[in-house]
Structure 1
Amino acid sequence: MASVSISQLKMGDKITQDVHTPLGSLLFYKGKVLLQRDLEILQAFLVTQVSVDRPEDYRKMKEIEEAQEATAGDAASPVSASFYEKYDKMVALVKKAFKDALVNEIPMMGLRSQLELLIADISDYNILTFIPRQMKEREYMYHNAVLVALTSYCLAKWQGIQQKELMQVALAGLLHDIGNAKVDPDILFKPSSLTREETEEVRRHTTYGYNLLKNVASLNEGVKRAALQHHEKIDASGYPLGVKANQIHQYAKIVAVADIFHAMTLDRTFKKGQSPYPVLEQLEEESFGKLDAEYVQTFIRKVTQFHHGMIVRLNDGRMGEIVFSDRNHPTRPWVSVNGVIINLVNERSLFIQEILLK
């Protein structure tokens, strides 16, 4: 063990004592193996000395880096290997269900059983920071289905929906886009703008989905209506039926919030995902006449609730620590950067690009 100055640290050094920010928040736990981004964080917070153990063979550093990057979500919020395994299996089952929906019955028993196992570890799931370990091209809609299921479950619970209904809400999220199984993949994954006819075909995934689910006895009406109505809007400007707020099922309103958030933050074949904080602000704007304002406000308040001490990267590249959150502006906290407090409410050109540590 040796106390090493920051300038002498290398990727692969193993920390032997917890490291804290000047304000006392935990930066890294004892035992962490440092990656390049970690070295940048230490420098940004003016840490001068770190106690480390050094492996003798630095040829192994690349292997260490790749192994840690394979579990990318743990940088901001530790995610257990068990949760990732259950998540990956859930994605695989959803992918199979989309294929089965065209020729066979949807395998509801298997989907529900795996979803229950995944939700049993819901404490490992952080909506703002969770990143799938791997997401192949053209698998966006399967990952979106699983993430929308988990997020819908959380939002329903925060809204006080009865415990006995929470699994049905999660299933509504999981199956909301099942109708895409009947849409031509060449249209779904078309890199250029869709024609009017193609846009209409994509919109039919809502009615396709409802028809696939309407005779499934294990699903309640809310799950089926969510597949049909998750693109409806409060002001009746949505589709497929253009119904108003009081005609949109509660499950569909919940799924709509979760779906929009993940659609905007997930990487897609032809579009890189956005930072969650600007997306939350866009969701807030959408709540005026488009989405259910109560659900949107609950969602934003809850996902930003544990700000203090978070280590973040701003969109100008600087790293800092969240030191205060104004509940009237939950997406724009105060961030300490090298001892200087930046109030993001006033600095409108800046926003949180990435959460590095929680």
Structure 2
Amino acid sequence: MGKLYLGHELTPGSRLLRPLRDSSGHVLLQTGTILTERYLELIEQWGLQDALLLAQRPSEARIYDHVTRTHIIDAVLQTTIIDQLADIFNNITSEKALPIATLRNSAALLVREIVAHKHVALDLSALRNLDEKTFTHSLSVAVFAIASGVELGLQEPVLMELAMGALLHDLGKTKVSPAILNKPSHLSVAEREIIQQHPRWGVELLRERGYQTSNVLLGIYEHHERCDGSGYPLGSSDTQISQIGKITAVADFYDALTSNRAYRPAVAPHLVVEELIANSLTLFNPDTVWAFIRSLALYPVGSIVLLDNGERGEVIGYDREMPNRPRVLVTRDTADRELEIPFEYDLMQQLNRFIIKVESAT
């Protein structure tokens, strides 16, 4: 059992027993969130330091269920979709017939596979091993988006449109110079203005080919829009952005930041999750952010991970509400020597420990 505390009375390691909401009822932090120093700073920034919160302090007992298994998307289906995307992207400006219909069939299989495993978190680690990064990103965004849509209760016809929009969201980049796309330093103002046209160009390219499905085109057009109006190409705000656009935006943001880019290395997943939560009242829709967080295995069970102190271990489970803080069975010490007696970290309790790298996936 928890108690009611004022926001400023809580300490790192406290666990929320009810969602933290703003004055409009939007969920800022979900039930089960373990409060780190960063989350406590956000509570103060949100002006909720004097709000009454039902929570448990670290010394109070708590019980929660861990996810102990995940699902990997069928490898043949992954490769098929990658090949179909390559065909479309490479031939969009030619007169060659595009396999849009066959991609739609593959997207239907992808949707059905994710729906069939909706009670098991999805493991995308295998995608990181595929060679074609551009199309791997598109597939990853589609899987993230579909899984988030399932969490939000979307029906299969809408999930299909969401999937197609996510798979084709970067199609407009075929009109951007590779020198800009692969530039290893910051873009100039002029280059940034060119990049910011790619959602518009993607829609135009499909319309020129006779493709008119509105929700698919919305996913492409709105995946860089932000709820506070700071996005592009239109600078639309919260109520002007479709649900499909909001879902695709979160999926694209996460996968882009956790992937290596020419101008920066990949950011650790737990840091990107915290960034999403921190921006869930400004850049992103909070319900969409939490649906995303609940749906996927950020650190799949069975993964070998490197901790910030140099120890290594295997992920053995995690709380579905906080997948960025799993349980890790430590098997090697800081000098990479095998331990005679392994021991466990529960990163929801050990707040001074965190994963810096996945060394091998399941």
Q: Secondary structure at the match of 1:234?
A: coil
Shift of 1:178: 0.8
Amino acid at match of 2:292: F
Q: In 2 relative to 1, CA 106–204 (structure 1 residues): closer, same or farther, beyond 3 Å? A: farther
The 5 Å alignment of 1:250-261 reads 250-261=243-254
Indicate the residue corresponding to 2:142 in structure 1.
Answer: 149
| 1:347 aligned to which of 337, 351, 358 | 351
Shift of 1:169: 0.7
The 5 Å alignment of 1:164-183 reads 164-183=157-176
Unaligned runs of 5+ in 1: 1-75
Q: Secondary structure at the match of 1:354?
A: strand
Indicate the residue corresponding to 2:125 in structure 1.
Answer: 129
Q: In 2 relative to 1, CA 217–143 (structure 1 residues): closer, same or farther, beyond 3 Å? A: same
Amino acid at match of 2:91: D
Please say if residues 226 and 237 of structure 2, whose CA atoms lie closer than 8 Å, have aligned partners that are also in contact: yes
Amino acid at match of 1:84: A
Please say if residues 70 and 297 of structure 2, whose CA atoms lie closer than 8 Å, have aligned partners that are also in contact: no
Shift of 1:114: 2.9
Shift of 1:285: 1.9
Counterpart-to-counterpart distance in 2, 1:90 and 1:242: 31
Quick one: higher RCO (CA 8 Å, sep 6+), 1 or 2? 2
| 1:222 aligned to which of 210, 215, 219 | 215
Of structures 1 and 2, the larger Rg is shown by 1
Amino acid at match of 2:275: Q
The question of 1:332 aligning with 2:325 is answered yes
Amino acid at match of 1:114: S
Shift of 1:272: 3.7
Encode CA deviations 1:241-275: one digit per residue, 9 max, x unaligned: 11110100111111111111111223345544333
Please say if residues 79 and 125 of structure 1, whose CA atoms lie closer than 8 Å, have aligned partners that are also in contact: no
Counterpart-to-counterpart distance in 2, 1:190 and 1:211: 25
Counterpart-to-counterpart distance in 1, 2:139 and 2:126: 12
| 2:190 aligned to which of 179, 185, 197 | 197
Counterpart-to-counterpart distance in 2, 1:119 and 1:328: 23
The question of 1:114 aligning with 2:106 is answered yes
Please say if residues 84 and 103 of structure 2, whose CA atoms lie closer than 8 Å, have aligned partners that are also in contact: yes
The question of 1:318 aligning with 2:311 is answered yes
Please say if residues 200 and 233 of structure 2, whose CA atoms lie closer than 8 Å, have aligned partners that are also in contact: yes
Please say if residues 127 and 151 of structure 1, whose CA atoms lie closer than 8 Å, have aligned partners that are also in contact: no
Counterpart-to-counterpart distance in 2, 1:231 and 1:224: 13
Shift of 1:153: 1.4
Counterpart-to-counterpart distance in 1, 2:226 and 2:72: 35
After superposition, the CA RMSD in angstroms is 3.2
Indicate the residue corresponding to 2:225 in structure 1.
Answer: 232
Amino acid at match of 2:223: H
Amino acid at match of 2:190: E
The 5 Å alignment of 1:8-87 reads 79=72, 83-87=74-78
Indicate the residue corresponding to 1:95 in structure 2.
Answer: 86
TM-score (norm 1): 0.67
Please say if residues 269 and 324 of structure 2, whose CA atoms lie closer than 8 Å, have aligned partners that are also in contact: no
Indicate the residue corresponding to 1:64 in structure 2.
Answer: none
The 5 Å alignment of 1:223-302 reads 223-269=216-262, 271-302=264-295
Shift of 1:288: 2.7
Counterpart-to-counterpart distance in 1, 2:78 and 2:302: 28
Q: In 2 relative to 1, CA 305–174 (structure 1 residues): closer, same or farther, beyond 3 Å? A: closer
Counterpart-to-counterpart distance in 1, 2:361 and 2:210: 44
Percent of aligned pairs sharing the same letter: 30
Greater share of strand residues, 1 or 2? 2
TM-score (norm 2): 0.66
Shift of 1:327: 6.5
Counterpart-to-counterpart distance in 1, 2:294 and 2:203: 32
Unaligned runs of 5+ in 2: 1-68, 331-341
Greater share of helix residues, 1 or 2? 1
Q: Secondary structure at the match of 1:102?
A: coil
Q: Number of paired residues?
A: 278
The question of 1:209 aligning with 2:202 is answered yes
Q: In 2 relative to 1, CA 180–327 (structure 1 residues): closer, same or farther, beyond 3 Å? A: closer
Counterpart-to-counterpart distance in 1, 2:263 and 2:326: 31
Q: In 2 relative to 1, CA 120–131 (structure 1 residues): closer, same or farther, beyond 3 Å? A: same
Q: Secondary structure at the match of 1:232?
A: coil
Amino acid at match of 2:88: A
Shift of 1:140: 2.4
Shift of 1:233: 0.7
Indicate the residue corresponding to 2:36 in structure 1.
Answer: none
Amino acid at match of 1:85: V
Please say if residues 299 and 315 of structure 2, whose CA atoms lie closer than 8 Å, have aligned partners that are also in contact: no
Amino acid at match of 1:353: K
Amino acid at match of 1:233: R
Please say if residues 309 and 353 of structure 2, whose CA atoms lie closer than 8 Å, have aligned partners that are also in contact: no
Q: In 2 relative to 1, CA 348–286 (structure 1 residues): closer, same or farther, beyond 3 Å? A: farther
